[in-house]
Structure 1
Amino acid sequence: MINLLNLFFPKVCLSCTAHLADNELHLCTECRHELPVTNIHFSNDDFIKKLFYGRLKLEYATALLYYSKKGLVQELLHNLKYRGYQDVGLCLGEWLGAELTEVHQFKTIDLVIPVPLHKSKQRKRGFNQVTKFGQAIASSLDIPYRDNILLKVTNTKTQVFKDRLKRWSDSGAVFKIENTGQIENKHILLVDDIITTGATIESCAAELQKAKNVKLSIATMAIVN
């Protein structure tokens, strides 16, 4: 029987925007199979930790997908950030969250914190693209999600075209923490959409690790390949 709701409001793949079959959710079967998964958390590969070597101390670090220009992952993240397809974050968060429940290292995490947007940018966009991703991971791990601890206090311009040194200088001292007592002696999972140079995560971590005895891990939707 034809699903009348899908007839008038067809569900589309969050990556390629093709119409989804009734048994498909968020992503079409072809895109799901073609997305370049990293499997970092299963392989114990520490190359993300090495990216931050000498810059910050991490317990664990993972990303769900590899990102490349003009690839499926770029289209997926563009659909999330610029076209308002918020279910991208939900889909990827549920996917990664389910996998992290099978990895014993991530069972020591106490709470999930997202990389924040400045309030003016979030007001303009209408949402933080990391919110549903982080909430889904927190739900899978059965731990709290907190977006009232790490705040962005300086509204920086887009960092897409900045080199590493310029990105880092612009990212420094633009975040602050509140409600510090909620993270003291905790293992935090900091979540973001993509790792490029790592400058933004480094700046966030510098603030979070000002709290007493904080351990930090990171998880992102993607990392530049």
Structure 2
Amino acid sequence: MRLLKDLFHLFYPKLCVVCEDNLVENETTICTLCRHDLPLTNFTDYKENKVTQTFYGRILIEKAFSLLFYRKKGSTQKLIHDLKYKGNEEIGVFFGDWLGEILKENNEFATIDYIIPVPLHPKKLRERGYNQVTRFGKTLSKHLEIEYLENYLIRISSTKTQTFKARFERFNNIETKFLLTNPSFFDHKNILLIDDVITTGATLEACAKEFLKSKNCTINILTMGYTE
């Protein structure tokens, strides 16, 4: 069995998503050198950082965190692009494992009741075949022992991809709408909204506003990347 596995990797080697060099044993998704060079945000205050500041005057966020800075043509952009558009869902697992270990150790989200993903519109989900944050959320769920819930928050309008839109246009995008199917279910609950990248915060703000329909629902946010 070991011989067959070695032969498989000889002809179909696992490559680092960032530099595309061969991964060695015990490396997954990204090589050690590239992982070392990833632009960590190093936010230590979960209540007061650049992510929470994004929502000042817009919506009350209890805590928020992003693991990496997201920069044009940078390594984080490469990882997220492969996750969203090249079907590499293992990147979601990679981020889920990494953040899961951090959050389990620091207990910052220990009081969370549910992990909620930003949903795709059904049409987009059919086209892509998967939500890029599903594997991320399910991996987090295992590490933190917090239930991962889909289908309570749904997207009821479709927009063109945000990737190539100007920042101002994205911020002023009023087309994207969401619906919380059972607001009373989240009464007095502490939720964690997750997404891949936060830029203007408009999408996460729209999602969070749906949860304000619930009584005394506390909102937290977690993303893989944060756009400076």
- TM-score bracket, shorter-length normalisation: over 0.9
Amino acid in the other structure paired with 2:50: F
Q: More deviation in 127-136 or 173-182? A: 173-182
Shift of 1:46: 2.0
| Uncovered stretches (5+) of structure 2, i.e. residues with no partner | none
Q: TM-score, normalised by structure 1?
A: 0.93
**Alignment partner, residue 91 of structure 1:** 94
Root-mean-square deviation over aligned CA pairs? 1.7
| Mapping for residues 78-157 of structure 1, pairs under 5 Å | 78-157=81-160
2:35 is aligned with 1:32: yes
Amino acid in the other structure paired with 2:194: V
**Alignment partner, residue 10 of structure 2:** 7
2:56 is aligned with 1:53: yes
**Alignment partner, residue 192 of structure 1:** 195
In structure 2, C-alpha distance between the alignment counterparts of 1:70 and 1:137, rounded to whole Å: 27
In structure 2, C-alpha distance between the alignment counterparts of 1:183 and 1:8, rounded to whole Å: 50
Contact kept? 1:185, 1:213, Cα under 8 Å: yes
In structure 1, C-alpha distance between the alignment counterparts of 2:64 and 2:188, rounded to whole Å: 19
Report the secondary structure of 1:182's partner residue: helix
In structure 2, C-alpha distance between the alignment counterparts of 1:5 and 1:162, rounded to whole Å: 41
Shift of 1:13: 1.4
**Alignment partner, residue 206 of structure 1:** 209
Amino acid in the other structure paired with 1:134: G
Contact kept? 1:156, 1:170, Cα under 8 Å: no
Shift of 1:168: 4.1
Report the secondary structure of 2:219's partner residue: strand
Runs of 4+ in 1 over 6 A off after TM superposition: none
Q: How many pairs align? A: 224
Shift of 1:16: 2.5
Q: More deviation in 181-190 or 148-157? A: 181-190
Report the secondary structure of 1:109's partner residue: coil
Amino acid in the other structure paired with 1:103: N
- Of all paired residues, the percent bearing the same amino acid is 46
